Structure 1
Amino acid sequence: MEGLALLLLYLAVPGLLVSAIQQILSWRKSSSGSGKKFPGPKLFPVVGRVHDLPRFSMWLKFTEWAQIHGPIYQTRMLDQDFIIVTDEEIARELLVKRGHIYSGRPQIRSLIKHKEGPAYSALMDRHDIWQAQRKWTHAAMMEAYKHHFYGHVEREMKRYLGLLLLDPARFLDYTREYCGRVMSRLAWDDATQGKANGDSADTTLHCMSVSGPITNTMTPLWHLPSFINPWYNFEIKREREQRAWWLNNFRLAKDRMKRGELPNDTWAYRYFEQLKREGNESLDQKEEQEVFASCMIGFLNLVGVVTISGPLKFYLMAMALHPEWQKKAQEEIDRVCGDRMPTMQDYADLPTVRACLKETVRWRSGVPLGVPHQAERDDEYRGVKIKKGTIILACEWALNRVPKQYPDGDNFRPERWLEPGWPTYQEPLTRYPNFREGNAMHTFGWGRRTCLGQNIVDDETFVFGAATLWAFNLAQKRCPRTGELVPIDTQATNSHVILEPLPYHLDIKPRSDERAAQILEGYRGVLGELKL
């Protein structure tokens, strides 16, 4: 293995030489201008600081540097300049107030042509394809939210609880599948593809993360000839299969639309109905138009899995590790809901549940690095020139631990959302905290690149969080031999750009025999409605 790594390094030398030449030219060009720079770690020739940046848990290193160099600092990896921001006001000044400058997306080396589209709207540059997809997605999401996603969240939750009762050891698999099923039902009316949707999302995240293919950090390796380039060949195959899967789903939905069988509560129906209003009664389109639409709906489907699955897994972990908060939430649920499973109708009356969910996302952010923005033209901030192409990272892990806003930030403290005197507290508690508005919304991004999924995150996490605690008691596993608690490493994650925790163990038991019977009754009640 060491010999292979050495061989690859030698093969990459031409690319490294090109990077070195580009860097020297950049130095010569910049030496004639203003010398003012943001502080930052010492940079080395050619490599910058890439040699000691961990590919896993990079956000911890960025937070460490922020403690040394301040809330805005700069660094470089090979020939790419970075500005790291760990202050909310600075992030707002750059990414919101100057959003017309800092709303580009950087090239993810191992994700082919993502900036051009149409496959990944959140990763495109701002152009006509991005604008058309974002406008359509926003309208589709808002319409679904008005109907609280047509009850699909609650129906899939009853299935989830039943599976958890029957086979609790598979809770991590079932949690991701639950998210995949909700999104696949909304997209195509085919919840059976929930697992495939979750797996596809996970593989895509791997390919776009610094912890994924080494070509995302050692970018010269990407330019190796295809016959000795496993990363390029893998991505060609993966992207082709994903597009074919999305296109096939789109065409199946179109056939059902023509037969009058496609439910009107799907995003596919909304798209086809729009074609009809525009005069295309036959729904016939050129292949490039079908690809555009299938990627738009397919990516919306995918991103709804990856942004929700991780927080739900961290929530289960948090409840097991903090039984005092689990008990408080259960007492609230029992008082409001009694013997019935909580639904969105109970939202206003369950602030403790919402606080535990909100605190989970702060304590173990699903996007700890933040999603990168790229300067679309030269700019100047605080007297420092920022050149076009610079990547701006608002490091979410560090933002969630700023002492002034989040006292005792390393610890799980849901009371920060419930008790006056905490900086994050807001009234009325029938409305706050939530994932749609108010404090700490930076987890959804900034400015023109803000994620459009706040509403489905709010609905889906709430129903999950309340229903799971209504049904089960969660605890750490005990070793059957020693009786000792099995430890859970709360920072062990897959290190994707959007995180899920690595597999861990829980003891999951129904809260009573009566509650187990109610879970099974709810499960049987949805079997006829759901495609399993």
Structure 2
Amino acid sequence: MALSSFLVVFSILCVATLWKRFVSRRRQQIPPGLKKLPGPKGYPILGSVPDVPEKNSFIKFSEWGKQYGPIYQVNLAGSNHVWISSDQIARDLLSKKGAIYSDRPHIPALLDDNRTSGQYLPLTSKNNAWTRQRKFANVIMRESEKAQFHRYPELEAKRMLVELLDQPSQYNHVLESFISRVTCRLAWGHSEASDELKQRARELLIGVSPTGALGNKLPFLMSLPDWLVPAKAWERRRARTERKFFEIMQKDVENDMNEKNAPQSWMRTFLESRGSWGFQYELEGAYAVGMHGIAGALTIAAPMQTFCLAMCHYPQYLPMLQEELERVCGDRLPRAEDRPNLPFLRAIIRECLRWRPPVPTGIPHYLIQDDTYNGYHIPAGSVMHPLEWAISRDPAMFPDPESFNPLRWLEPSYPTYQEPLTQYPTIINCTQFGYGRRVCQGQGVADEDLLIGIGSIAWLFDIRKDSDVSAEEAHYADSGYCSQIDSEDCSLSTSMTTEKQSLIGLNEKATISSEELNAGMESPTSVSENYMLSECTYPGTWPTVDLSEDFAAEIKQTGGNFHSQDERLASNPKSTSRKPIDPTLDFTTLLIAKPVPFEFSLRPRDPARAENVKKLFEEERERGKYADSRGYWGKDQGKSQELGWGKV
């Protein structure tokens, strides 16, 4: 029975793919005088899908760019994908010809068509919903920036630092909570929904990632009934939960406004003049605000995690950054007004986005009509990828591109140098935020969060690779902050020193950026993030594994319980000659690429400064600034209920 069902499904897949290829070939007839874009030949039906690794696929696409040129095409299971490795070509097409290159491709795993639903502005095609929501986004971002984002990043930075002092082993979770809390405040005026916002972001990221939900890998499954396709049922529950969450948050702000105590937020801006935006229905405003909340929670934490990674592998730059912070800020935390005087901090942030871009494949555009470029034919219906990984590694613009080097933004000898240094370097309008009419409108939020967040971490902590910690420092890690400091000078409370791993930043709990390979299927058992997402998987995931001949024996022997690359190299004699994976390239496989959690030393530079941060935090908490996280779906986050958290 199982075999016959498999054969039926396989037959449907083959017929659908062949029909798609037939239609695609008719559409892609090359006009006289033009050439077909170069690219790999691929295989029947599947195209080049078997040649694209699920892990770090952006590196493979970048290698193809070196082989076939800065613009080439790849057939992926019948869809034509055009990859652009040149900033100039991306501007020539996606910016200068934005009238035909500004649509978005269809995302099969989403139940409502992302191009027309108006639910997700960054994924909406160029239509009326896109126009009115973009107008709304321009207003809320401009007003927030004028108000210095209501000082929300500075407020949440204090809580972030205290959490890092108390539990440095949870650094990944802490950094993502910092971003989520700031974004919640901007969106709705309060931070209590930060855990829920992170979960909404996790689930949507799975739904939109090519390597995420099964519906994006096998689109025909979305036409089958829910009971036959668990991934489709999962997506339906996700969409319903998301909608209800946005409705709850909108109603909460309405209640705050009625009671005359609503903090400044994007939702308040919408509700104060809800008739000004031309939204077609009430819920459109809820989605317009909620989507910006999700977008912030998805992406901004990645460069902060990259900063930790970079400081471990390029430690020479941390003292330079700390010297600048000491000179400008002294014994107080960084503020928004410090921006013009912190060029090295801005260079660090800019280099984090270049060295390990959060969206290395770029956000795809969709071509709505045939076009030509330098004698090449680009067929309508092509998915256009500005390949950020390759664009940020152009050796002419970025000498020694694989090295993390913030000085390339500060020294006149580099082609990236710009003046005045009170303004440059800046991440505003960098290629990572997109091209043409699809440029991200939340750049200012990201810029402010990263300046305050990374600046605060460097101001308070030293960061080192775990392997660099000496035996004496290892003893320090066991005995608390007071080791290597005279006991009479140590004023930190013992509650901050009881954790044995108080200097080790290894996040043992999964977060937005955790690996998607865990095999367990149990949902979280508590509202607390301490119980979230550990050993969970999501519909459609499969193990990311090297299926080369070297590892065939392991696959057979372990029955699929794969080990890390380092473990393979150590245990497999045939693999010892293979080049080890670059530890700075251990990234997640979804659309937003984040460093997988790793071990490092996170040590407060000055006990008195750390104690002062705790004092500032307590003062803000006494004023009611820090509320606890709120649950929305009851016991076990709605496990087995109609609404609640899905398995991720």
- TM-score over 0.5 for the pair: yes
Query: Could you report, residue by residue, the CA deviation over 1:69-89 in whole angstroms, capped at 9, with x for unpaired residues?
Result: 010111111221111110111
From 288, 293, 304, the equivalent of 1:296 is 288
Aligned position for 2:298: 306
Higher mean C-alpha deviation, range 476-485 or range 59-68: 476-485
CA distance in 2, matches of 1:391, 1:523: 48
CA contact (8 A) 2:371 2:377 kept: yes
> Taking structure 1 as reference, are residues 32 and 171 closer, same or farther at Cα in structure 2, changes over 3 Å only?
closer
CA contact (8 A) 2:410 2:417 kept: yes
Equivalent position SS for 1:377: coil
Shift in Å, 1:413: 0.7
Higher mean C-alpha deviation, range 52-61 or range 173-182: 52-61
Equivalent position SS for 2:273: helix
Shift in Å, 1:33: 4.1
From 442, 448, 461, the equivalent of 2:437 is 448
Higher mean C-alpha deviation, range 467-476 or range 5-14: 5-14
Aligned position for 2:21: 23
Shift in Å, 1:25: 4.3
From 619, 625, 632, the equivalent of 1:525 is 619
Higher mean C-alpha deviation, range 137-146 or range 505-514: 505-514
Aligned position for 2:404: 412
1:355 equivalent in alignment to 2:451: no
Shift in Å, 1:327: 0.6
1:492 equivalent in alignment to 2:599: no
Query: Could you report, residue by residue, the CA deviation over 1:315-369 in whole angstroms, capped at 9, with x for unpaired residues?
Result: 1221222221001000111111111111111111111111111101100000100
CA RMSD of aligned residues (A): 2.5
The one-letter code of the counterpart of 2:437 is: R
Shift in Å, 1:9: 6.9
1:51 equivalent in alignment to 2:43: no
From 378, 386, 392, the equivalent of 1:400 is 392
Shift in Å, 1:135: 0.6
Shift in Å, 1:44: 2.6
> Taking structure 1 as reference, are residues 22 and 172 closer, same or farther at Cα in structure 2, changes over 3 Å only?
closer
Aligned position for 2:569: none
The one-letter code of the counterpart of 1:352 is: F
Aligned ranges 1:89-238 → 2 under 5 Å: 89-112=88-111, 113-238=113-238
CA contact (8 A) 1:176 1:195 kept: no
Equivalent position SS for 2:372: strand
From 506, 510, 515, the equivalent of 2:609 is 515
Equivalent position SS for 1:215: helix
Q: Please, what TM-score do these two structures have when normalized by structure 2?
A: 0.76
Higher mean C-alpha deviation, range 253-262 or range 4-13: 4-13
Aligned position for 1:376: 368
Equivalent position SS for 2:215: helix
CA contact (8 A) 1:159 1:526 kept: no
CA distance in 1, matches of 2:98, 2:275: 36
Shift in Å, 1:239: 0.9
> Taking structure 1 as reference, are residues 166 and 71 closer, same or farther at Cα in structure 2, changes over 3 Å only?
same
CA distance in 2, matches of 1:147, 1:165: 30
The runs of 5 or more residues in structure 1 that have no matched partner are 279-284
Shift in Å, 1:16: 2.4
> Taking structure 1 as reference, are residues 477 and 224 closer, same or farther at Cα in structure 2, changes over 3 Å only?
same
CA distance in 2, matches of 1:29, 1:81: 11
Equivalent position SS for 1:316: helix
CA distance in 2, matches of 1:202, 1:262: 28
> Taking structure 1 as reference, are residues 524 and 32 closer, same or farther at Cα in structure 2, changes over 3 Å only?
closer
Aligned position for 1:474: 463
Aligned position for 2:12: 14
Shift in Å, 1:29: 5.7
Query: Could you report, residue by residue, the CA deviation over 1:435-460 in whole angstroms, capped at 9, with x for unpaired residues?
Result: 224xxx11100000000011111111
Query: Could you report, residue by residue, the CA deviation over 1:455-507 in whole angstroms, capped at 9, with x for unpaired residues?
Result: 11111101111111111111122499999999992211222212222121221
> Taking structure 1 as reference, are residues 224 and 433 closer, same or farther at Cα in structure 2, changes over 3 Å only?
same
Equivalent position SS for 1:473: strand
Aligned position for 2:84: 85
Aligned position for 1:457: 446
Shift in Å, 1:270: 0.7
Shift in Å, 1:204: 1.1
CA distance in 1, matches of 2:420, 2:129: 40
CA contact (8 A) 1:161 1:523 kept: no
Equivalent position SS for 2:394: coil
Shift in Å, 1:244: 0.7
Shift in Å, 1:7: 5.8
Shift in Å, 1:58: 1.4
Number of equivalences: 519
CA contact (8 A) 1:15 1:221 kept: no
CA contact (8 A) 1:154 1:343 kept: yes
> Taking structure 1 as reference, are residues 513 and 128 closer, same or farther at Cα in structure 2, changes over 3 Å only?
same
The one-letter code of the counterpart of 1:531 is: A
Equivalent position SS for 2:74: strand
CA distance in 1, matches of 2:390, 2:400: 13
Higher mean C-alpha deviation, range 512-521 or range 177-186: 512-521
> Taking structure 1 as reference, are residues 270 and 8 closer, same or farther at Cα in structure 2, changes over 3 Å only?
farther
CA distance in 1, matches of 2:3, 2:617: 51
Shift in Å, 1:370: 0.2
Aligned position for 1:385: 377
CA distance in 2, matches of 1:30, 1:516: 63
Aligned position for 1:282: none
CA contact (8 A) 1:72 1:85 kept: yes
The one-letter code of the counterpart of 1:159 is: R
Equivalent position SS for 1:100: helix
Q: Please, what TM-score do these two structures have when normalized by structure 1?
A: 0.92
Higher mean C-alpha deviation, range 138-147 or range 489-498: 489-498
Shift in Å, 1:174: 0.8
Shift in Å, 1:8: 4.9
The runs of 5 or more residues in structure 2 that have no matched partner are 475-503, 507-565, 567-581, 629-648
Query: Could you report, residue by residue, the CA deviation over 1:284-319 in whole angstroms, capped at 9, with x for unpaired residues?
Result: x99x72211111100011111112011111112212
Higher mean C-alpha deviation, range 46-55 or range 399-408: 46-55
Q: More helix by proportion, 1 or 2?
A: 1
CA distance in 2, matches of 1:318, 1:142: 32
CA distance in 1, matches of 2:275, 2:81: 47
CA distance in 1, matches of 2:30, 2:463: 62
Aligned position for 1:42: 41
Shift in Å, 1:129: 1.0
Shift in Å, 1:261: 2.1
> Taking structure 1 as reference, are residues 361 and 277 closer, same or farther at Cα in structure 2, changes over 3 Å only?
closer
CA distance in 2, matches of 1:320, 1:481: 15
> Taking structure 1 as reference, are residues 248 and 355 closer, same or farther at Cα in structure 2, changes over 3 Å only?
same
Q: Equivalent pairs: percent with the same residue?
A: 31
CA contact (8 A) 2:84 2:386 kept: yes
The one-letter code of the counterpart of 2:19 is: I
